[in-house]
Amino acid sequence: MRAEPTSRPSTPTWFLDVDGVVNATRTPHQKHGRYETTDVAVAGAVYRIEFFAPVIAEINAMSRERLARVVWLTTWNDEARTVLAPAVGLDDFDVCPQPRDLQPRGWVSHPRRGEIWWKTGRVLEHIDSQPGAPYVWTDDLLDRDVKRALRDDTRSNGLLLTTMATPGLTLTNLQRVRAFLGGQPSSAS
């Protein structure tokens, strides 16, 4: 992970996924607003990205206001920062890389929890290094068991937000994030 020269230690961390969060997996119904599309090339493949510009603006606003230190937590790894973010207009955020020693289905071995999802392992590393520090995790694959395990950890102080893959992260979701982080309502939401 890259160094974080501009963040204060007390700044909450926001773990942000790509697919089903920033990138809606299908074109959402009009009730969510007009989504934009762009194609990005990663490792020789081209991916269609569907995103909602006001969501992008609000993520950037919360980061710029230093309400949170946004960190990519995604299988896109560094391509989230170097390819996806510039294509949709997101600022340059740090990347929490996927471990190299993944077991089948994305599991890793954790000293206290046994076999767990690699993303859960990264969030637990954060909790271990900063007990009680607030954090946000937005992911379309956050299930009941992962949420329960993190909420049961007495050192955990997080907002765990499961998005729907379509429409992805919404302005309503972002109002919850902003309220958790203690920010004032923005013009983007």
Convert the pLDDT of each residue in 110-135 to its tens digit: 656 667 788 888 898 888 888 888 99
pLDDT of residue 124: 86
pLDDT bracket for residue 15 (50, 70, 90):
very high
More confident residue, 76 or 1: 76
> Average pLDDT, stretch 25-53?
85
| CATH code for the part of the protein at 13-181 | 3.40.50
Q: Mean of the pLDDT values across residues 100-112?
A: 63
Rounded CA gap, 73 and 137, in Å? 9
pTM: 0.85
Is 68 a residue whose pLDDT tops 90?
A: yes
Using alpha carbons, list the distances in angstroms from residue 181 to 59, 60, 76.
12, 14, 26
151 vs 48, residue with greater confidence? 48
Least confident of 2-16, 51-65, 95-109, 168-182: 2-16
- The DSSP output letter for 14 is E
Q: Lowest-confidence range among 59-63, 153-157, 167-171?
A: 153-157
Q: How far, in Å, CA of 59 to CA of 5, rounded?
A: 19
Contact between 138 and 127 (Cβ < 8 Å): no
User: How do the domains of the chain map onto residue ranges?
Assistant: 13-181
- Cβ atoms 183, 65 nearer than 8 A: yes
Plot region of 75 (φ>0 → left; ψ -120 to 50 → alpha; else → beta): alpha
What's the pLDDT at 4? 44
CB atoms within 10 A of CB 62: 23
Average pLDDT estimate for 30-58: 89
**Where is 71: in which H helix or E strand?**
strand 69-72
